[in-house]
Chains A and B, each alone.
Chain A
Amino acid sequence: MTDQTRLRRFHSACWDEQLLTDMSVDGERGILVPTPEREIMDAFHSLDGLVPASVARDRPPNLPELAQPQVVRHFSRLSQMTMGGDVQSDIGQGTCTTKYNPKVNERLAGLPQMTEMHPLQPVETAQGILEILHRARGFMMEIAGMDEVSFQPGHGGQAVMAAAAMVKAYHEARGEAHQRDQVITTIHSHPCNPSGPAAVGYEVITLWPDDRGYPDLAALEAVVSDRTAAIFITNPEDVGLYNPQIDQIVDIVHGAGGLCYTDQANLNGVIGRARAGDAGFDMCHFNLHKTFATPHGSHGPGCAALCVSDYLARYLPLPIVTFDGHSYGLDFDRPDSIGRVKDFVGNAMVVLRAYAWVMNLGAEGLKQVADTTVLNNNYLAELLLGIPGVEYSYGTDDRRRLDQIRFTLEKITRDTGITAADLSTRITDFGLQKFWLSHHPVTVPEPCTPEPTETNSLQELEEWAAAMRQMVEEAYETPDVIRTAPHNGVTTRLDRSYLERPELTYVTWRQWKHATEKAASVS
């Protein structure tokens, strides 16, 4: 470790970019559309009778008009004002597992044999993608210790919701759905763990952690009953601890007749080391856009692989990809299926990338992924704990955190008034993405949850810690530089009055212009 780690004299591109609507010039075209051939124009020149008058447009849609170079420059400038994982180490985005997305996978996903595939093509013409889906299914089953997989959910929340619907179907088949109306979760599980079951009608009971940071077994026992339909629990949880009693939790819930689901969004540190199925879980999901290195895409599309044990396979969303020894197919004949959570078979182009990633690394490579992730997280922790005021959440004992470790900066805030949120903004001045605090409600005061992955180098870890160290010094000595941050960002501090006054929420330029014009006319 070096104390001389250089911090960047970073400044974001700051294009002060107009809104598209303000760049509009009447009559400009960005692209031309093919005119039908003459025989078609001759036959159907007039649209009378082809478009009913009652729903014909009376005026053109109010879209901006731009020429092509201006569109390219506009969006290129916007992309420059975006701190993607391709341009910085992205250690800050805890719980998102933002890792390097291999470019070869982008090349493969850009092939017409992927992009130009229609989901309803005859299966014999889609054997390639079906094979990819089927093989990837096999990978997920092995990694999870489960028996069947659906790639239909587009994100973790969808997988959880689908699983909750499956839990309901399972108990209905046993005539117990009416009685089993409760789902248990924990406060450190991802917010989708309670919201998915709630969306299908369950009452949610939330367990809070004891002072070691795990859900209290005694509390679980106090609420488990013949009303328990299932438990939905993230493990390792968002503070970085693996719950060593996880199989006991499973036993308790199974003992009461409930099912057990684990949210494996935080798989990166345990892939190949510990499997959901081996801990006794009936179902789990993986986020392909997290552990499996598919790009986050500025917030999607992603994919969640929903993995289940054989006795639950019948309830999975349809269709399921099948293989009969000769060819691949899609099975729609699934009378017990919960239906669909998304159209068609899922985000196949995401599964394709995940497939390639696993094929490249293999079993040994995946072990290196987990090992290096945990090594990187602990190394960073070592550096961060050396900064006065930075402490682990939940304790000063000798437990090892795995991945996406939650720290508390409470002492710094007590001493200086500077908060974790302040530091999360200030760190962007060093060319590093803001760091994640915590989901709501905030249980650890002044939380800081970075998540290095296996794709971060030693230098990147040290750079991140050096930025933290610098900021903590600033907090004690020159706090104003933090209070007035960011200084090197895309824009200066926003007026966040809309958080308290909902009427100031504008989500389109039409609303914005209406409001600003109104304000201008009044003053």
Chain B
Amino acid sequence: MTPVVGLIVNPIAGMGGRVGLKGSDGDALRCAVELGAKPEAPDRARRLVSAMLPNANRIRFLTCGASMGADAFDCRRGDVSIIVDCPASDTSRVDTMRAASVMAGHGVDLLLFVGGDGTARDVCEAVGDSVTTLGVPAGVKMHSAVFATTPQAAAELAGRFLGGWAPRTREGEVMDIDEDDYRAGRLSARLFGYLRVPSDERFVQGAKACSSVAEAVAAADIAEATVEHMEPGVAYILGPGTTTRAIAERLGVAKTLIGVDVVKDGKLLAQDVGEEELVDLASEIPARIVVAVVGGQGYLFGRGNQQMSPRVIGLVGRDRILVVATEAKIAALRGRPLLVDTGDEKTDAMLSGYLKVNTGRGRSTPYRVEA
């Protein structure tokens, strides 16, 4: 069976970066064009396709018209079908999402997209983890763990995946930064969701250096260890992440993917809470924070879990923060410290130093935390 690969290009991704802007949606795009920004994605897409062409006679490509895909192909070669039209003028996230849905509907074996975090977010919103995807970086913001390191690496990984030589897939975190906030000087990243990506980690940035099966086993082990030690009458504030989700699964409790939930006595106490609710909670009953290492950058606090604000952290106390991470996630940090950016210097300083990271039942690591 000939493998079928979808390709979506976000032609405006990366426009802001070279001219010093962060991200290229909306007004920023007009700004960027005026400043002489040139699109990066088309070139990346061409490099991707040309790196895949040696295998082209064994792959069927589905793509979008013009700048959203077809332009990347030398159409005399390879089996390429345009199944989604491209708007004549400015493309937008709606176009990306539509294309992704259509391709998923066609049952592609692999969906490649060229863009940045924003593009990843759009693909994620459209298809979730229903199809295996892989991103080719062409933007400034690549915090999501769903991108290959280079177009070449993407082609390599796609080839292996389709050839059955890298059959595993795993969930990659899709991060998104609020663009307006960012340009106004505030960095607030959040975990948007998950995409399913081929698991050959050497190629994917921000990824963990271990097989997906072993990773799931390790996460389950951490969950077991955490649940074993949960005390009655104590509220456990679970931050976002796959490891904390494993804890919730172990308790048989549904966890919001990217929000903060609270469990107590083995049951869900509150779901997708904000800072104020947490402050109220922590003021009234004993509470612990269970926080996972999220995203490719190794942030403990300040990326996607801002609900656990300085006030909340202060109420809980450093000694009652449980950090959970698999050893593979620690390895992916490559010796860099864990980072905290709560927005309050005093809290950041309080968290700095060595924190105990629980890596499984009866296993832990003291790891350096820095602001």
Binding site for B on A (CB under 8 A): 187, 194, 198, 202-211, 216, 218-219, 222-223, 413-417, 419, 421, 440-443, 445-446, 480, 483, 493, 495-497, 499-502
Contacts and interface: CB of A to CB of B under 8 A. Distances in A.
Nearest to A224: B366
B331 A499 contact: no
A205 B366 contact: yes
Given A205-B366, A223-B354, A445-B334, 15 more contacts: A187-B327, A205-B365, A206-B327, A206-B363, A206-B365, A209-B335, A211-B335, A218-B368, A414-B153, A417-B153, A440-B214, A493-B165, A495-B164, A497-B164, A500-B212
Contacts of A442: 209-210, 331
B171 to A, nearest CB: 15
Interface in B140-158: 149-150, 152-153, 155-157
Contacts of A211: 335
B328 interface: yes
The 10 A-B residue pairs whose C-beta atoms are closest, nearest first, are A417-B156, A222-B354, A441-B331, A442-B209, A203-B362, A219-B366, A222-B366, A500-B168, A223-B366, A500-B167
B5 interface: no
Contact of A210 (B152, B210, B335): B335
B256 interface: no
Contacts of A216: 368
B106 interface: no
A413 B365 contact: no
B152 A417 contact: yes
Contacts of A205: 363-366
Contacts of B54: 480
Given A208-B330, A223-B366, A499-B211, A417 B203 contact: yes
A414 B149 contact: yes
30 contacts: A198-B363, A205-B363, A205-B364, A206-B327, A206-B359, A206-B363, A206-B364, A207-B365, A207-B366, A208-B365, A219-B366, A222-B353, A223-B356, A413-B153, A413-B202, A414-B149, A414-B150, A415-B152, A417-B155, A440-B210, A441-B209, A441-B330, A441-B331, A442-B209, A443-B331, A445-B209, A480-B54, A496-B167, A497-B167, A500-B167
Contacts of B354: 218-219, 222-223
A486 B45 CA distance: 31
B208 to A, nearest CB: 8
B167 A204 contact: no
A120 B214 CA distance: 44
A306 B353 CA distance: 37
Contacts, number: 98
Contacts of A206: 327, 359, 363-365
A204 B155 contact: no
A499 B362 contact: no
A442 B207 CA distance: 12
Given A414-B153, A497-B167, A441 B327 contact: yes
Nearest to B367: A208
Nearest to A480: B54
Interface of B: 54, 149-150, 152-153, 155-157, 159, 164-165, 167-168, 202-203, 209-214, 327-328, 330-331, 334-335, 353-354, 356, 359, 362-368
B326 to A, nearest CB: 8
Nearest to A479: B156
Most buried by A among B152, B202, B331, B354: B202
A204 B362 contact: yes
A204 B356 CA distance: 12
Contacts of B164: 495, 497
A495 to B, nearest CB: 7
Nearest to A416: B152
Contacts of A209: 335
B366 A194 contact: no
Nearest to B202: A419
A414 B203 CA distance: 8
A496 B335 contact: no
A24 to B, nearest CB: 33
A205 B212 CA distance: 24
Contacts of B212: 500
A495 B328 CA distance: 25
A178 to B, nearest CB: 16
A243 to B, nearest CB: 16
Nearest to A502: B213
Nearest to A413: B202
A3 B330 CA distance: 41
A51 to B, nearest CB: 46
Contacts of A414: 149-150, 153
Contact of A194 (B152, B168, B202, B363): B363
Among B164, B335, B367, residue most surrounded by chain A Cβ atoms (within 10 Å)? B335
A108 to B, nearest CB: 44
A416 to B, nearest CB: 7
B119 to A, nearest CB: 22
Of A206, A218, A219, A223, the most chain B CB neighbours within 10 A belong to A206
A445 B354 CA distance: 24
Contacts of A445: 202, 209, 334
Contacts of A421: 202
A446 B334 CA distance: 12
A411 B193 CA distance: 31
A345 to B, nearest CB: 33
